[in-house]
Amino acid sequence: MQNSMIEKSYDASSTEQKIYDFWENNNFFKFNESSKKKIYTIVLPPPNITGALHMGHALNFTLQDIVARYKRMMGCEILWIPGTDHSALSTEAKVVEVLRKRGVSKTEIGYEKFMQECLAWKNKYGNKITEQIRKLGASCDWSLERFTLDEGCSKAVNEFFVRLYNKKLIYRGKRIVNWCPNCNTSVSDIEVDFKESESELVYLKYFFSDNNNFLTVATTRPETIFGDVAVAVNPGDERYKNFINKEVVVPISGHKIKIIGDEYVDKSFGTGVLKVTPAHDFADFEIGQRHDLKNINIINKNGTLNEKCGNYSGLTTSKARKAVIDDLESSNLLIKKEKIENNVGKCSRCNCTIEPLISTQWFLKMENLAKPALRAVKNGKISFIPERFSKIYMHWMNNIKDWCISRQIWWGHRIPAWHCENCNYITVGLNKVNFCKNCNSKNVFQDNDSLDTWFSSALWPFSVLGWPEFYEKFLRCYPTDLVITGYDIIFFWIARMIFSSIELTGKIPFKKVVIHGLVRDAQGRKMSKSLGNGIDPIDIISKYGVDALRLTLVMGLTLGNDTRFSEKKIEGSRNFINKIWNAARFLKISNENITPKIELKNLSIYDKWMLNKLSDTIQEIQKNMEKFEFGMAIQKIYSLFWDDFCDWYIEFSKINFKNNLSNLNTCCYILCEILKILHPFIPFVTEKIWSFFNNNALTVSNYPEFNSNFNYEQDSKDVENIIAIIRAIRIKRNEMNTPHNKKINIFISTKFEDLITKNSDKIKKLANINNIYINKKLDGGKILTCALDFANIMIPLQDLTNQDELNLKLKKELEELKKRIDKNKKLLQNKNFIEKAPTDIVENIKNILDSDEKKYSVLLNKFISQPQD
RNA sequence: GGGAGCAUAGCUCAGUUGGUUAGAGCGCUUGCUUUACACGCAAGAGGUCACAGGUUCGAGUCCUGUUGUUCCCACCA
């Protein structure tokens, strides 16, 4: 690097790709299985292959990478395996859409060809995703990259399925499920979003079969009357209890059904009479089970009514509803209609209304899986950070129902079950089944369904380790240490990994679950395609660089809380990065031969002050890093670098350098130490700057430790005093309206004559002073006095000063001082305080009072005055 | 209906186990081409910590209640 070539401002776009290649080509992130270091394993949430990465991913990968890089520098062997998720339903829908544009359907091209089309999609878009993960700077081991549908993951999936089937934890059953007529598949409970919508509650006449009276039934779904199998009332309802076991006639349809009593019925809702349609309502299904009622399925899988619905067959449920209501009205069977707010289930993927219907599906029995999964969190083996998310997890796990794991789509893990055409027996096996285990018939075919995409994601932490093969590696790296994810997939993924892992491996999948929030737009709205307010992280990266993006996402972040992203914020981050760049540039152009080196014997008090600060900060941020308090850690480093290192230390050093290489080297050493602690957050620019001064790579260097040798209390205090003098002078200059470019003279009366004399060059330069007269008599004219603990600074009044304004300010200062003096005096007179408060607090108050009183008396007499001695 | 979060400067947010004068970034005001950086430097204004009680020598922080707001869960047809 030629120093003369260092540009005035840092250009991220020309640097970042080269740096990542440098890391990757040198295998810095490669997991060394035979390493003696402590292994630290992070489970990387594999992104979908359907879209591009969004801001949520950027946050997620940033946080993971901060931990990975920090732990690596702390001496751990990092195992962080990247990969992508086949995201069954989303990908299938996208590929179907592509085919549709080409004018073909998936059934036309057939299973094999369709799977090839999907694989082609994966190769194209999956690679785009992995490129973007690299762009974000993720320091994962690409040689271990995985895909949830690759051979190894498929093996784990089949193993899981077969084992649980044999244990009867996976079963096939005809039950009511959430059906999406648009996606044409069943979906699980958590893939249904309930959205509040305005519906029409209609009151219908159900005549008794043996007389002319009727019961009034209120329903929002009149089109399902063809599936009615009973009318239910609460057995405790005085109005209706005598009708139980009588018969009514379903309007329009005309079939006769019984009146039953069931506690579920709410007397106060509608008329207190409920029509029971077990095939198309979850609650009704349960009532049906309790009363041994049959199920009449009246809705086709495409969302239309079937042949059981007479004239209405073929109509969609919403059209049929209108038609049924019209007909009921015209035949005088409808009493009234009223608008109500209710929750309607929508498919979380396509937003289409979910039709509950009865269908044969594969289910995972949850009851026994949930218990140990609950225990692992309860007894602290797995901890959520922040802790409150464990409550959300437990509540869900406590109320969990069986998981419908089969999907009527092709792209995904095909269910390893073979049906016999002959005897209908199902043979489940790891390998292709060629004959029926029951009747030996060779007439067997594989189940057409595939598995829910989360079924394979649930095994991700151990399937990527090669489980059930490569058992030794598995044992060395498992349970993993950490998973970081957004709160929106606790149920989808985190919970399922926990019970799957415990069931299958006997071990928890990870020790810690760090939960972060959503990235919202500048107004706090969720970023979404429909709003068009999404910000593409890749656009931001090309404009500002990924370091700036990472810094913005993590600055001021509180785990578990949502965060807002705005262009204003990222400008601040870019400015900070540019500041680092320029500090380095300054050192490099000061002397080409500069190296990060420290000679303890040659340290100035300023070096010692800075080392003291650095050491303290390192100690603090290490605590923050261990507790995943990234926002707090970066804030401290930011302030250390900008407020201490740049604003004071470099400014002092400028005066000390005088081309002294040893001094420069010390400064460079400290800069490099700061680069180390910054590196996990902003890896690219720090690596680049590091290369100006070092031959090795920053990313594999050691994290600085708290160094007790750098405990320079007294020297630090001296520097603090110098700073206090400079600050005081600057403040007074401003109050006197003296511009910075005008030099002034000052008089100081102090007991620290030696210190101030020795360091007067710094004071003169940084406060722009001509002459400093220490403990000298002033000659004539008005002066402005500033009182410090150890010195009184007197400045002859300047031409531009508005004395009235100044007096007002000083008066206010005196008042505030007086207030505090009174308050602290009172406090010290309080016996309870003296007795109960810790002594250091009491001492502190005493000291403050002392110094306040001194200042007060100085200011009271001398604030604007004729000089005195 | 159940549960959780949030409420602190004009805006966005920090504030670790209660302890000096409640912080940062942005914005605003004033001054500055001070030989790294105007993506900069120096100084400044701006807060009843939502409200009401309580515990404590001491509360932004702990407890109770109220209000506002966001989110999650739940089968009220």
Q: What is the pLDDT of residues A27-50, one digit of tens each?
A: 999 999 999 999 999 999 999 999
Mean pLDDT of A113-125: 96
pLDDT tens, residue by residue, A413-451 = 999 999 999 999 999 999 999 999 999 999 999 999 999
A855 Cβ within 7 A of any nucleic strand B atom: no
A70 vs A707, which has greater pLDDT? A70
d(CA A463, CA A470): 10
Tell me the three state secondary structure of residue A577.
helix
Tell me the three state secondary structure of residue A798.
coil
Q: Is the peptide bond before A479 cis (omega within 30 degrees of 0)?
A: yes
Between the CA of A394 and the C1' of B63, what is the distance in angstroms?
Answer: 26
Sign of the CA dihedral running A763, A766, A771, A773: negative
pLDDT tens, residue by residue, A515-568 = 999 999 998 999 988 788 889 999 999 999 999 999 999 998 999 999 999 988
Mean pLDDT of A272-284: 95
Q: Which is it for strands A256-261 and A247-249: parallel, antiparallel or unpaired?
A: antiparallel
d(CA A707, CA A177): 62
The band of A814, judged by pLDDT with boundaries at 50, 70 and 90, is confident
What is the dihedral angle through the alpha carbons of A610, A613, A617, A620, rounded to the nearest 10 degrees? 160
Chain A residues 172 to 191 whose Cβ lies within 7 Å of strand B are 189-190
Q: Which nucleotide is nearest to A574 (CA to C1')?
A: B39
> Which ipTM did the prediction report?
0.96
| Side-chain-side CA neighbours of residue A516 (13 Å) | 27
Looking at residue A2, its pLDDT comes to: 41
Indicate yes or no: pTM above 0.90: yes
| Nucleotides of B strand lying within 7 Å of any protein CB atom | 3-6, 12-16, 19-21, 23-26, 30-34, 36-44, 56-58, 72-77
Looking at residue A1, its pLDDT comes to: 39
pLDDT tens, residue by residue, A142-179 = 999 999 999 999 999 999 999 999 999 999 999 999 99
Whether the per-residue pLDDT at A476 is higher than 70: the answer is: yes
Whether the per-residue pLDDT at A3 is higher than 80: the answer is: no
Q: How many helices (H) and strands (E) does chain A have?
A: 28, 30
Task: Say what percent of chain A tops pLDDT 70.
Answer: 98
d(CA A345, CA A196): 9
Q: Which helix (H) or strand (E) holds A127?
A: helix A127-135
What is the dihedral angle through the alpha carbons of A247, A251, A255, A259, rounded to the nearest 10 degrees? -30
Q: Which helix (H) or strand (E) holds A580?
A: helix A567-590
Looking at residue A132, its pLDDT comes to: 97
For A36-93, what is the HEC assignment? CCEEEEEECCCCECCCCCCHHHHHHHHHHHHHHHHHHHCCEEEEECCEEECCHHHHHH
Per CA to C1' distance, which residue is closest to B32?
A: A740
CB A867 within 8 A of CB A780: yes
Looking at residue A865, its pLDDT comes to: 53
Chain A residues 333 to 372 whose Cβ lies within 7 Å of strand B are 340, 342-343
pLDDT tens, residue by residue, A827-846 = 999 989 999 999 989 999 99
Chain A residues 378 to 407 whose Cβ lies within 7 Å of strand B are 388, 391-392, 395-396, 399
Average pLDDT, rounded, for chain A: 93
